[in-house]
């Protein structure tokens, strides 16, 4: 049986990536462009260590999804490395079909 390729979100890429930190309500707190060819695994681990050093407790994380969650007191954050700019509006599933020009609600 042929082995399936496993996607690695932290593999170095020919395209830029973005580092983004969001609060538990999805508001963007911090972002920065990571140039093409950046060592994304190192960036991810350094971000985890920086948050630990700042008093955050790491929660669930996924190197496959390039995301981790952390808490400090009642505050919760999501830190991710993504191929899309943080201000990019995601259109999942058929959500884009509900918007139509000239539609009055």
pLDDT of residue 101: 54
pLDDT of residue 33: 96
pLDDT of residue 63: 82
Category of 69 on φ-ψ map: left (φ > 0), alpha (ψ -120 to 50) or beta: beta
List, for residues 36-93, the tens digit of each pLDDT value.
999 999 999 999 999 999 999 999 988 888 999 999 999 999 999 999 888 866 555 5
Block residue for tokens 């960036």: 43
Mean pLDDT along residues 11-38: 93
**39 SS3 class:** coil
pLDDT of residue 86: 85
């Amino acid at each position: 049986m042929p082995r399936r390729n496993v996607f690695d979100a932290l593999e170095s890429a020919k395209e830029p990536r973005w580092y983004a930190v969001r609060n538990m309500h999805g508001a963007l707190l911090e972002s920065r462009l990571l140039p093409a060819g950046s060592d994304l695994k190192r960036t991810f681990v350094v971000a985890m260590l920086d948050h630990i050093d700042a008093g955050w407790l790491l929660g669930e994380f996924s190197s496959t999804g390039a995301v981790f969650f952390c808490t400090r007191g009642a505050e919760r954050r999501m830190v991710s490395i993504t191929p899309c700019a943080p201000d990019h509006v995601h259109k999942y599933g058929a959500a884009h079909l509900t918007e139509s020009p000239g539609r009055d609600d």
